[in-house]
Chains A and B, each alone.
Chain A
Amino acid sequence: MARPPPPAGPILFPSLLLPFLIATAAAASAAANEEFTEELLLRPLPDRKALAHFYFRSSAPPAASIGRHHHLFPKAISQLVKKYHISELELSFTQGRWNYEQWGGFDPMSTSNAKPPGVELWAVFDLPLSEIDATWKNLTHTLSGLFCASINFLESSTSFSAPRWGFKLNEGNLRYGALPREAVCTENLTPWLKLLPCRDKAGIASLLYRPSIYKGYYHSQKLKLRSSQSLGIILDQTLTVVLQPNTISGKQVQSNHGQLQPSWSMRHLFNRKLSEKCFVSKSSRIFIEVDKGIVDKVNKSGSDLSWNNEFFVLSNGPDRLIKDLNNLEVQSSSIYEYDVSNYTEENPFDVGITWKLPLIWSCTPSPFHASRFLMGSGNERGSIALSFMSTNLHKKKFGSTNDCSIKAVIFQIVPWYVKVYYHSLEIFINGNQKPVSEVVDKIHVTPSEDKLLPGTLEMVLRFPCSMQSATLTLDFDKGFLHIDEYPPDANQGFDIPSALVSFPEFTSARNYPEIDPLLGSPLLENFQEDSVVKSYTEVLLVPLTTPDFSMPYNVITFTCTVLALYFGSLLNALRRRIGEEERELKKTGKLIIEFLFLENSNPHLTSLNSTAVTRHGLIPQLLAKLRGQKVDPTELGSSSESIGSKKLLFKVVFVAVAAVLFHYFSTNS
């Protein structure tokens, strides 16, 4: 399975020469050329899984120098950046949840590449503040079209917000929105791959065999844009997947030792081998990273951390070994680098790791493990709880001083139909309730507004180092929505986007003092950047009560009937003058008899007593009313009829004129 290690000399020589060549080439035309690099990082994870992190960077020099034409950089993106004046943008599509306990919470991978489930989009605009909301709306529509996703749902003001400092320091030109329920699939990946110059036809992206990458436990594709006058546009596309290697050979050993990690290679993970690099890419590298935990174990055992040591062996000898030294100059993790440019279709590249001895290690966790859950039952109200469990990281970092404190920043967006009562904030530390002012350093709340604004909570907390656990609870009322506002599967419930917890006093940055700064590896550059340790919490599913969706007509008719009954009967009760009615009835009673029985005879001939009339039912009475007023026996003639019809005609004309005028004015205004 494992390919024989290639001879060291010929490989080593070009690999040493290559950076120099690239560096000179880059120096010559750094300002003018568009560049593309592709990289892949593989890493075994403690829970017998493997992580693959694809990193593609396309960059375009400032617009003025090259005009509107691009040969590597995707035109769609440069148009987007120019049209919406984006200075920074990040869009991620994620399926599954990053396991902060097992896969690490402190390394650059988890702080900058672990994303909340669904879609997350944030953008910083280089525009006057008044135009930003409108631009954001256009941007969401454009991205929605570009990536075949329902990002356009972020258009409505109920789904995005402008956090002040909880997410990123913001001068008002940042917008943040998340769609936790967005499903991510190949239809989103294909347009994302279209932005690469070689698509998935050649180069590292050709490893993206859909059935194997969508089989994983975690899948996050991300697009990050930076643009400025001096830099031009830099587009970073990353895809992070956590896969379960399907080992065939490892079974026998596994049963003997129990704890032996599964051995895997690229062919196992992706069902593909890498045949050749993408020819337009400036560099094309594959890294295998081993964690600090493994490095410590290997060092402890006294063996050298080469690619073939006591614990594991890599199938190929690396071109280079890059060590990460932390500030105490202790090696914490190491990376084996392979350059893909030497491989061709006849000689495809495959690298893997084979374990020799069982090894248990763990990744460095974040200072607190944050999780969020719902409390309460019923569909009227509930509580959101955010719990922090200490991982005792500070003890390892700063020793066991107990009088220190750790800062944590919480940023949370809550949709308007979850009506949070911010005054109900309660904080429990180690199970004891603490006054809010003791723990909360700073708080900023934007209350939700029905059908207009989501609620935003930004909070700086200061936890004592000795704390083992903390819980924050917030009460909320569940809203009741109009039937049109429910999604098609209303009974599934509504999602509350992930909260973001960051620890500004901790930064994750790798330090590679040995590598050449001109190596030009964006992935390693990214790893060396200081980024604040942060973690996203779970998405919450809140069931909301539903009205009967089949009832609108019934409800309208029932309610209107009751109101009409009220109105009619009350007006009738007020209008009735019983005394007059009796007199009228006496009069009209005569009339009605005339009309019913003696229509042609003299009305004064007949006389009937009123009691006979009152015994008549409702319809004769109504008839009497109708006729009694219209037909007066003394004035029964053609003249009155003609006057009546004229009046009627006048009324009709009047109403018509009024309607025309009303229509005219209402359309004009």
Chain B
Amino acid sequence: MAIRYYSPMVAAAVGFRFVLVLFGGDLHLASRPEVSTPLTSLRRLAEGYWLKQASMSPYSGTLRAPLLAPVADFSLDVCILTLQNLGASMLIFIAGLAPLAAFGYVMATHLSLYPAILIVPVILLLGYGPDAPPTKLLHLKSSSASKSDMSEYDKRTTLKVQRFSWTTVLHFIFWLFIWSCYVLLLSSIILKKVGGLNEMFEKTYGFILTVKDLSPNIGVLWYFFAEVFDFFRSFFLIVFNMNIIFMVLPLAIRLKHRPCFLAFVYTAIVAMLKSYPSAGDSALYLGLLGLFANELAEMQFTFFLFFGYIGVSLLSPVMHNLWIWRGTGNANFYFATSLAYTCIQTVLVVESVSSMIKHDRKLRLLVTS
């Protein structure tokens, strides 16, 4: 299916980024809390690079972005830094090339850890092929077709769809292994004299999982961990990190016939619950939302969601400005917008999942009746 206005849209997107790069100086995008988190901050990356040049560990201190240490020259457009990687890996998944998909997956995980849970949709995608109606439906369809004298060829194709292709998956896992070994090897060579891999894991993934940096971002965890009593901190760290993992299996069971949608839901959940979320994370899943325009046509609360996103994205910078720069506001103002943002994302995830399930049910009803 050809996408309408594909090249104009690409041109507009590229042009928009160029405009931001050229004339975005007054916006201070590189230091906005919506865009630059402790993980994606360009200044922290530059500091890590400077320390590396001064023959110190790039991860010494807590100021360093847990990005790839050897990134010597980087994209100017910091706001799409992580997004690019994620997006790239997603696109490569769809292309179905196992080695490339494995590479994208390894890089994305290495850079921001949370894409690790995307292994489930990737394997499903490689095993079953892209999104399709549930297999049960195909069963029903094939049984009804066999009743009504379908040709032998058609039957074979339907059966083919149902089979899980283990060879592709094994191929993918093989390449996954190779690429991760390769990345770890490169990192360990670069960090051999200045710290080593252990320090890298501690300062990157440890930093992500233990929410050490409490600077404000568009999520809720920074304020939560700034306020929570110290003796409950570990408990809540476990709760919040498990919250992401808890949903992986139920979603995979229910949506295994729709790997792309599953990936979309995972990215949305990660963007909502990750420790240092940025607008780039939301941009990724909102961009993917377009893939399911037909399936999610009957989604509820779309009006509320649309204006919720607009309202939050307008209010959040205002509250941040009032609190941080003018000193007339209060941390609660900004936290309120973060909370609203999380609510909206919750509603989006829940509504999209339930409307997708309803859609599939409707499809089955149509086929069976």
Q: Which of A380, A558, A559, A563 has the most CB of B within 10 A?
A: A559
Q: Which of B328-359 contact A (CB under 8 A)?
A: 330-332, 335, 339, 342-343, 346, 349-350, 353-354, 357-358
Which listed residue, A377, A421, A452, A562, touches B342 by the CB 8 Å rule?
A: A562
Interface-facing stretch out of A113-121, A164-172, A481-489: A481-489
**A interface residue count range (under 10 / 10 to 19 / 20 to 34 / 35 or more):** 35 or more
A421 lies within 8 A of B227 (CB): no
**B interface residue count range (under 10 / 10 to 19 / 20 to 34 / 35 or more):** 35 or more
B70 to A: closest C-beta gap in Å: 17
A33 contacts chain B at the CB level, 8 A cutoff: no
B164 contacts chain A at the CB level, 8 A cutoff: no
Among residues of A, the one whose C-beta sits closest to the C-beta of B246 is A567
A423 lies within 8 A of B47 (CB): yes
B220 contacts chain A at the CB level, 8 A cutoff: yes
B293 contacts chain A at the CB level, 8 A cutoff: no
A555 lies within 8 A of B223 (CB): yes
B199 to A: closest C-beta gap in Å: 12
A145 contacts chain B at the CB level, 8 A cutoff: no
B46 contacts chain A at the CB level, 8 A cutoff: yes
A481 lies within 8 A of B226 (CB): yes
On whether A555 and B213 interact (CB within 8 A), knowing A548-B331, A573-B353, the answer reads no
A126 contacts chain B at the CB level, 8 A cutoff: no
A563 lies within 8 A of B357 (CB): no
Which listed residue, B31, B43, B56, touches A445 by the CB 8 Å rule?
A: B56
Among residues of B, the one whose C-beta sits closest to the C-beta of A483 is B227
B229 lies within 8 A of A574 (CB): no
Provide the residues of chain B in CB contact with A449, threshold 8 Å. Answer: 60-62
Provide the residues of chain B in CB contact with A578, threshold 8 Å. Answer: 358, 361
Provide the residues of chain B in CB contact with A422, threshold 8 Å. Answer: 47, 50-51
Q: State A284–B61 Cα separation when bound (angstroms).
A: 52
A421 lies within 8 A of B51 (CB): no
Q: State A450–B60 Cα separation when bound (angstroms).
A: 11
A570 lies within 8 A of B349 (CB): yes
A7 contacts chain B at the CB level, 8 A cutoff: no
B139 contacts chain A at the CB level, 8 A cutoff: no
B224 lies within 8 A of A555 (CB): yes
A443 lies within 8 A of B324 (CB): no
Q: State A453–B62 Cα separation when bound (angstroms).
A: 10
Provide the residues of chain A in CB contact with B228, threshold 8 Å. Answer: 552, 555-556
Q: How many CB-defined contacts (below 8 Å) exist between A and B?
A: 147
Chain B 113-125 interface 0/1 with A at a Cβ cutoff of 8 Å (1 = within): 0000000000000
Provide the residues of chain A in CB contact with B175, threshold 8 Å. Answer: none
B215 lies within 8 A of A574 (CB): no
Provide the residues of chain A in CB contact with B205, threshold 8 Å. Answer: none
A548 lies within 8 A of B332 (CB): yes
Provide the residues of chain B in CB contact with A378, threshold 8 Å. Answer: 324-325
Which listed residue, A416, A551, A556, touches B332 by the CB 8 Å rule?
A: A551
A254 contacts chain B at the CB level, 8 A cutoff: no
A547 lies within 8 A of B223 (CB): yes
B250 lies within 8 A of A547 (CB): no
Which listed residue, A481, A551, A559, A573, touches B350 by the CB 8 Å rule?
A: A573
Provide the residues of chain B in CB contact with A423, threshold 8 Å. Answer: 46-47, 49-50
Q: Which of A474-506 contact B (CB under 8 A)?
A: 475, 477, 479-484
Chain A 361-382 interface 0/1 with B at a Cβ cutoff of 8 Å (1 = within): 0000000000000000111110
B243 contacts chain A at the CB level, 8 A cutoff: yes
Q: Which of A424-463 contact B (CB under 8 A)?
A: 424, 443, 445-453, 455
B339 lies within 8 A of A558 (CB): yes
Q: State A297–B325 Cα separation when bound (angstroms).
A: 55
A573 lies within 8 A of B357 (CB): yes
Q: Which of B194-235 contact A (CB under 8 A)?
A: 212-216, 220-230
B272 lies within 8 A of A556 (CB): no
A547 lies within 8 A of B331 (CB): yes
Q: State A421–B62 Cα separation when bound (angstroms).
A: 11
A279 contacts chain B at the CB level, 8 A cutoff: no
Q: State A445–B56 Cα separation when bound (angstroms).
A: 9
Q: State A149–B224 Cα separation when bound (angstroms).
A: 35
Q: State A480–B220 Cα separation when bound (angstroms).
A: 14
On whether A569 and B350 interact (CB within 8 A), knowing A449-B62, A480-B215, A556-B227, the answer reads yes
Given contacts A545-B323, A559-B224, A567-B246, 12 further A-B contacts (CB under 8 A): A378-B324, A450-B212, A453-B61, A479-B215, A482-B225, A547-B331, A562-B220, A563-B240, A566-B272, A573-B357, A574-B250, A579-B361
